[in-house]
Amino acid sequence: MCASSVPDWLIPPSRGFRTEDLDTLPDLPPHTELIDGSLVLVSPRPGFHSVVPPS
């Protein structure tokens, strides 16, 4: 098994990430969340998750 390298910007600072850091991080995926100082990279939900069934 081979460990893949991660971009340097993905490694959090000792204080954790803050909201102002989100504007300066390069190539940040659009569905990134900041939770308790950590970046959470989430996949976009498929279209059927936003469909409301008729009543």
Burial of 9 (0-12, 13-18, 19+ CB in 10 A): middle
Rg (CA), the chain: 16
pLDDT at 30: 81
> Residue 36, by phi and psi: left (phi above 0), alpha (psi -120 to 50) or beta?
left
pLDDT at 3: 58
> Each residue of 39-49: pLDDT tens digit?
888 877 666 66
- All residue ranges of the chain with pLDDT < 70 are 1-4, 45-50
Residue with structure tokens 């498929």?
46
> Residue 10, by phi and psi: left (phi above 0), alpha (psi -120 to 50) or beta?
alpha
pTM of the predicted protein model: 0.59
